[in-house]
Structure 1
Amino acid sequence: MIDFRYHLVSIVAIFLALAVGIVMGTTLLSSPAIESALQTAQDLRKSNNDYREQLGALQARETGNDSFVTAEMPAVIRGQLTGERVVLVAAPGSSGTLREQAEQVLVEAGATISGQVTLTEKYVEPSQANFIDQLTSGLTSLTSPGTDPYKNAASLLAASLVTADDTQAGTENTATVGVLDGFEKAGLLTVDGTPAKRATLALVFAPETLFTGEKAQEQAGALVSLAAGLDAGAQGAVVTGTIASTQPGGLIAALRDTSDAAAKVSSVDTLDMPAGRAVIVFAAREQLSGRSGQYGIGADAAEFQPASSAATPSPSTSGS
């Protein structure tokens, strides 16, 4: 049997341990440790305040730059695309607001917008490839370029929308009458304006969201094929979007990863910047001279703008 003295000793030992712990804890957390923690917290607060000030300054600087570019843009791009016709091709999921802003800039540069073709999700759905191939074959007697359904469709749509011959600009291709109607009735695209009255240049708008999953490569590839087909049938083609499109699963990323297409089709990944929309104009004009480039601030962009941006524009239409 445990007697009272044992309990007393145990209780004293417990309180003694607590006292020692309190003393040691107070000693350890005294001056050096506490001062160090306070100094670290103060340094972090100062760093955060500095970063906020830097961010504010950068935002103010960007706002000022955008304001200046927007105000001066008409003078900078005036006459760059005089006499040219441009067809707008919108991928599913592209921004309507950004398309309208780009269209305004093209008009200020002297271009005429022939119309707009908006692709549907069905067009880029890989399971529809055979259907698209059959539709393409049934709508034309033109020779198909190969066995790839999307390349064949791109070739046919290009023949309906664009021309490399200035004398044919603004006219319909008698060999492709009914093609756009056929694609529209099939639920593959919608038409605004008169894009069948062919343009000399094509501007393709990338989706705002990235393609994901197992089908991503095929979906982006379908759009790359269309851009390449339009370029081959016109005096040039430019793909544009935001920096998001330069990430894996984006149209511009897919284009820049495709050496054959990237060697001919230009891209601009700064559609959401006033300066970037001016670059679209310069990239389109560069296409007219038979050159191409990848421009912007995203992955694989060679530079922000074409080196020939400051060149004096031609007073009349030109073809590559």
Structure 2
Amino acid sequence: MINFRYHVVSLTAVFLALAIGLVVGTAALNGPVADSLSANVNALRKDNQQLRETVGSLQEEVTREEDYARETAPGLLGGTLTGRRLLVLALPSGEKHVDGVIEMLRQTGATITGQIDLQDKFVNPDNSVDLLGLAERSAKPTVPANGLPGNSNGVETSSAFLAGAVLDRPDGITVTDADRRAVLDAYANAGYLTVGDKVGGPAEAVVLVSGQPYVDRDSAQKDQAVVTMTEQFDKAVPLIVAGSGTSAGNVVAAVRDDPALAKTISTVDHANTLQGQVVTAMAAIEQIVVKKAGQYGLGAGATDLLPQLPQRPK
């Protein structure tokens, strides 16, 4: 009969054998395993250093390209649009690079008549009815509400109305400063826009500064509202879209995908970079002087990297 002492001795022998096995195994493998791990760590360390050097080199290359663009911009752009009048429209998505775009537009010698920052509220589908009523309520003697699009799209109606207040008018009406200011104040007080710089007169062309498309649950409607607004301003004067990327829903992509819009609206898909801001100014020159639209940049639908500017007289 097997007694309790026998079980204790047996279990002790088993655990002792396991302990001896672990010690022997660890001693046998410790050298090769440690050497292998050390080699892997050293290899990863070298790879990481090489990647750091590559990133540093690329950053230096980008900096040099930006320096080149900045240094050549005055000679390339200077005086090309002296006496011409540009309005800058900015969407919230273009806020980070609007100052850079304006800086390059100023290099052309053009007068920036003003900067209007459109708010997200302007393209919110819940506000369509209010935008319809606001256009009617804000009408002034030199900014009448008659002739506006006759439908229920508030963004379309208000965009056409605002275009009539801040751009050259084909009907020959001269908008007074007081009426223009009253119209902008009405939309600003309602939270639809802010005026970054005082709008000092009508513009003969518009640069729309945009960025990435909307991503919330109403994104499709908001993105379409941006396109609708763009169309209305384009009907009045030449328009350039200074955007960022060509992802789905992006106003740059929408213009390029529409053959009719692509004939009249110029797009730049990398205006978030210094090089793209220079190209935006070049596209404005081409639109105003050559009266030609083009699609420029690196993304889908781009036809060239940059416009071919007219040769200056010697």
Kept after mapping to 2: 8 A contact 1:157/1:179: yes
Deviates more, 1:139-148 or 1:154-163: 139-148
1:183 aligned residue: 187
CA 7–198 in structure 1, closer or farther in 2 if over 3 Å, else same:
same
In structure 1, C-alpha distance between the alignment counterparts of 2:164 and 2:292, rounded to whole Å:
21
Give runs of aligned pairs for residues 161-176 of structure 1, distance below 5 A.
Answer: 161-163=166-168, 171-172=174-175
C-alpha displacement of 1:253: 4.7
By how many angstroms is 1:85 displaced?
0.7
Q: Which 5+ residue runs of structure 2 have no aligned equivalent?
A: 140-144
Question: Contact between 1:85 and 1:113, CA under 8 Å: does it hold in 2?
Answer: yes
- Contact 1:150–1:222 (8 Å) recurs in 2: yes
Letter in 1 for 2:43: D
- Which residue number corresponds to residue 146 of structure 2? 141
**CA offset digits 1:175-210 (Å, max 9, x no partner):** x86543443343322335553722111011225x75
Report the equivalent of 1:111. Answer: 110
Asked if 1 retains the 8 angstrom alpha-carbon contact of 2:123 and 2:155, the reply is: no
Residue 229 of structure 1, CA deviation:
1.5
| 8 A contact 1:85–1:199 mirrored in 2 | yes
Query: What amino acid does structure 2 have at the position aligned with 1:141?
Result: N
CA contact (8 A) 2:122 2:155 kept: no
The 5-angstrom pairing of residues 52-91 of structure 1 reads 52-91=52-91
Q: Distance in 1 between matches of 2:151 and 2:259?
A: 19
Decide whether the 8 Å contact of 2:165 with 2:183 is kept in 1. yes
Equivalent residue number for residue 283 of structure 1: 283
**Would the aligned equivalents of 1:86 and 1:113 in 2 still touch at CA under 8 Å?**
yes
Letter in 2 for 1:135: L
Q: Which amino acid aligns with 2:25?
A: M
How much identity, in percent, do the aligned residues show? 23
**Residues 98/168 of structure 1: CA separation in 2 closer, same or farther (3 Å cut):** farther
Rounded to whole Å, the distance in 2 between the matches of 1:44 and 1:192 is 51
Q: Deviations over 1:242-287 (max 9, x none)?
A: 44xx445654455455554344322223333222211011111232
What residue number does 1:228 align with?
A: 231
Q: CA deviation at 1:121?
A: 3.0
Distance in 2 (alpha carbons) for counterparts of 1:168 and 1:102: 30
Distance 1:251 1:26, change over 3 A: farther
| Amino acid aligned to 2:168 | T
- TM-score with structure 1 length normalisation? 0.81
Alpha carbons of 1:141 and 1:47: their partners in 2 closer, same or farther (altered >3 Å)?
Answer: same
Gaps of 5+ in 1: 316-320
Q: CA deviation at 1:221?
A: 2.0
SS at match of 2:147: coil
Corresponding position of 1:27: 28
